[in-house]
Chain A
Amino acid sequence: MRKSKSLTPLFFLLPALILMVPFVIYPVFKTVYLSFFLDDKFVGLENYKNVLLSPDIVNLDRFPTNSPPWGALIHNVVWIAIHLPATIFLGLGIALLLRGKEIKGASIIKSIVFLGMVIPMIVGGLIIRFLFEEGAGVIPAIFKALGIEGLAITWTAYPKTALFAAILGSIWIWTGFSMLMYSAGLASIPKDYYEAALIDGANRFQIFKNVTWPLLKPITIVVVAMTLLWDLKIFDVVYVATGGGPGGASMVLALQMWDYFARALNYNYAAVVAVLLTTLTLIPALWLIRRRE
C-alpha cells in the first residue's frame, strides 16, 4: 500500500519524463560531453583552458584601460554592473512615484514603460539601433544639442560606445519588469504600516528605509535573480543592435557561443561556452529557488 502510494505520482510524471529524455537530458549531457573533445579526441580541460584564456572571453590586456572589446565574459559582467542597479532603481522609483490613485495617467505611463517587456526582443534590438543612430536617433541628437560632439555619433558603429548602447537600451526593455514587480509589491503592503510609522514619528525617508524597503525584500530577491539571469542570457538584443561588433566590442557570452557554433563551426568551443553560461546562470537560479522556499 505504502509503496504504490509513493510510486503513483511518478506514474503520472512518466509521459513528461519520457519526452524530457531526448529533448532535454540527452542534449545537456551531449553538450557537456562535447566540451571535453576536440576533433573527436578526448582532451580533458584543454578546451576550457583555451576558451577562458582567449581574448574572445576575457581580454585583460584591454580591460579596463582601453575601450572594448574586453571579452564576452567581462562584457556580461559590465552589463550586470550597470543594468542591475539601474533596473532596481528605475523600476522601484517609477513604482513609488506612480503608486496610488492620485496620479493622473499613472496607468498610461506604466503601460509605456511596460511596452519594453511586451515587444519582441528582436524589435527591441532594432529600436536600440535607431535610438543610437546619428541623424535618426534621439540619443545622438541630444548629445549634439548639448554640444558633446564625441557622443553625437552612431553609437553602435564604434567600439567605445557599442556595448553601452546595447546596455542602455536594455534598461528600457527590462525596467517594465521590475516596475511591475515593485508595483505589485507596494500594493501588497498594508496602509496601516505606513500610518503606524507616521504616528511613531518617522519621516518619509525613515518610512522607506524601515518599512517599505524591508517589506519589499522578497520582490527585490526576485528582481535581482531574474535580472541576473536575463543579463547572463542576453542574446537577441545584441544580435540585432550591434551583432556583437564592431570587432567584438559588444560581444556577450551567448552570442560568442553562437559565433563559435555557427560562424567558426567550432562545436567544442561552443559547448564549452554553453557549459560555462549554464553554470553561471545556475547560481542565481538556485539562489532564487532556495530563497523562495
Chain B
Amino acid sequence: MGEVKLLGVWKKFEDVTAVKDITLEVKDGEFMILLGPSGCGKTTTLRMISGLEEPTKGQIYIGEKLVADPEKGIFVPPKDRDIAMVFQSYALYPHMTVYDNIAFPLKLRKISKQEIDIRVKEVAEMLGLTELLKRKPRELSGGQRQRVALGRAIIRRPHVFLMDEPLSNLDAKLRVRMRAELKKLQRQLGVTTIYVTHDQVEAMTMGDKIAVMNAGVLQQVGTPEEIYNRPANMFVAGFIGSPPMNFLNGTLTEGGFVDFGPFKLRLLKDQFALLQEKGYVGKNLVLGIRPEDIYDGSLAQERASENNMTRATVEIVENLGGERIVYLSAEDISFTAKFPPESKVKEGQKIEIVFDMKKIHIFDKNTKKAIF
C-alpha cells in the first residue's frame, strides 16, 4: 500500500545532472534513510517523490500508482500523491496558530469542522501539543515547532512521510531526543517514511534501511549493519563511521602479504585465496580498516603476531573520556585508531599496534569497489 519505487530515475537541471539513474524500492512501513554529503542529490530525489520536482527520465511509483513518467507524460501533482512532507525549516505558517497549522491540510480537503477538531486534538495529544494549540509558531521552541510540523504531516494519515533533514535545526541534545521520538512515532504509525539526512548517526540509529548517495549516484542500499560492516565501495566505507575508516595503499605479494612499504600485513588464508582467484597478486590494492579494529599492542598481546602488527609513532591523542582517538604514523603512512581509556599511550611515543585482520576490507584501487 505504502511502497515507493523509483525505476531508473534521472534529474537534470539544465547542464547539471543532480540524480543519475536511481533505482530504489522502499517497502510498506519501512523507514528508509537517504544519506549523503550535501549536493549528492538526496533532497532532489525526495522532491521528485513528493512531486515538487519532475524527473527528467524514469518512473516513480507510490503504492500501485505510477505518479511520474516523463516518457508517458504522466505527472501526478503533490496533492494527489497521498504523501506528507516535513521540511527542514518546518514551514509552519507564521500567521496561523498551532491548531490552524495542524488543521490546514484537512481544511483544504473540506472536511467537517467537528471531524477536524477531533483529529487535531488526537494528534496534539499524541505529540504533547495540547497545551500549545492556541499559540503562534514564533512563541514555540525549536522542538515544539518540530512537533507541530510532524503533526501537520500526521493528521492527513498519508501513505508516505517524506522528511527533509527535519532535525538539523535543533540543538544537539534535543536532536538526540527527537531522533528517538521520531523513530518511536514511525513504528507506532507504521507509515512508510523516507528521510533525508547528511548525518550518519541519524541514519544509523533511525533507519531500517539506508540508501547512501554520492554525486547523484546511489552507492549502496542496506540495513545499517550491512552498510557499516560490508560497505560496497570506498565512498560508503569512508562516509559511515567516525572517525572514518583508514585506507592504506599496498601491493599484494605472492606470500599473501599486503606490502605498504614501511610494514606488511599478512592476509588470512581465505582472504588471500579470494584475491588470488581474482588475479590481484602483484597488484596494487587498498586495505580498509576501521579505527576501532586497530588495537594498542600493550593491551592486545594475545592477538598479536608478527603477521598483524607494526610499530608506529603517536602523533596526537584526543581523549573523549570513554575512548581515545589516536593519530598514528608509520613513516609516510598515517592512520587513526580508537583505543579504550585504559590505553596509556602518549604523544611522541613509539608503540606497537595490532590490526584485527578479520575486520579488514579490501578495495580495488581503480574501481574503488569492495572485493570483501
Contact = CB atoms under 8 A, between A and B. Distances in A.
A192, A198, A201, A215 pick with most chain B CB within 10 angstroms: A201
The 8 lowest CB-CB distance pairs between A and B, nearest first, are: A192-B91, A196-B91, A201-B79, A200-B105, A214-B95, A201-B108, A199-B78, A199-B85
Contact of A198 (B78, B88, B96, B156): B78
Contacts of A217: 95
B87 A215 contact: no
Interface string A185-211: 000001011011111111100100011
A190 B90 CA distance: 11
Contact of A195 (B83, B87, B96): B87
Interface range on chain A: under 10, 10 to 19, 20 to 34, or 35 or more? 10 to 19
Interface in B82-108: 83-85, 87-89, 91, 93-96, 104-105, 108
A190 B108 contact: no
B91 A190 contact: yes
Given A201-B105, A210-B104, A214-B96, 16 more contacts: A190-B91, A195-B85, A195-B91, A196-B85, A196-B91, A199-B50, A199-B78, A200-B84, A200-B108, A200-B152, A200-B156, A201-B79, A202-B79, A203-B79, A214-B95, A217-B95
A198 B93 contact: no
Contacts of B85: 195-196, 199
A206 B93 contact: no
Interface of B: 50-52, 77-79, 83-85, 87-89, 91, 93-96, 104-105, 108-109, 152, 156
Nearest to B88: A192
A198 B105 contact: no
Contact of A215 (B51, B84, B89, B94): B94
Contacts, number: 54
B105 A192 contact: no
B93 A193 contact: yes
B52 A211 contact: no
A112 B208 CA distance: 57
Nearest to B109: A201
Contacts of B79: 198-203
A202 B95 CA distance: 17
Contacts of B51: 199
Contacts of A206: 108
A206 B95 CA distance: 15
Contacts of B83: 199
A275 B79 CA distance: 57
A149 B93 CA distance: 52
